[in-house]
Amino acid sequence: MNPWKFITVCAALLLAASQTFAADVAGTVKVSKGQVTIERDQQQLPAPVGTRIFTSDRVMTGENGSVGITLRDSTLLSAGPNSTVDLNKFSFDSTTHAGAIDATVRRGTLSVISGKIAKASPEAVRFSAPGMTLGVRGTSFIIDAGQ
């Protein structure tokens, strides 16, 4: 491969990678109080305001912790103290508003104000908590998974 071709291929790959990165971002931490961590690829990361959230992230709060996350489709999530929430799946097409949300509240509390995906395709929005699953018809609610 000649050097120019190599550079072009590298640039194309970088561009593709950066676009994938942008597309994979599910949301952003907007409120972070007390102890808030993200578990990603078996690593625990602190999650101050501005932290990007991705599919497969686990969000955890400590005893006096709470966290607020705005997803890319304008869904508003917030978790209270001693909470563990898994974002199993998130996808959103900003042209058609098609997409999917799948999240599990393992313990603690999660409030949800649903966004554009719930409006366009409510059947693609699923939350679950120990013992139950929820379907949403464009609304606000709290899930309390207890301890």
Partner 1 sequence: MLLFVAGLAGILFLGLTAQPTSTVVLLPDADGIAGAVDIRTESDRQSLNVAYASATNNARGVFVTQSENAESVRARYAQTLAAIPKVSVSFVLVFEFGSAVDIAPAFQPVLAQLRAAVTDYPSPEITVIGHTDRVGSAQDNDRLSLQRAQTVRDLLVNAGVDPSLIAIAGRGEREPAVATADEVPLADNRRVEINLR
The size of the interface with partner 1 (CB under 8 A), counted in residues, is 47
Q: Which of 2, 20, 42, 96 binds partner 1 (CB under 8 A)?
A: 96
Can you read off the two tokens belonging to residue 100? Answer: 């999917």
- Cβ closest to partner 1, residue 5 vs residue 73: 73
User: Three-state DSSP class for 109?
Assistant: strand
Q: Is 62 in the site for partner 1 (CB under 8 A)?
A: no
The vertex-141 CA angle with 72 and 95, nearest 5°, equals 25
Q: Is 47 in the site for partner 1 (CB under 8 A)?
A: no
Spatial separation of the C-alpha atoms in residues 27 and 90, rounded to whole Å: 9
Binding site for partner 1 (CB under 8 A): 22, 28-31, 33, 49-50, 66-70, 74, 76, 78-81, 94-97, 105, 109-111, 113-114, 129-146
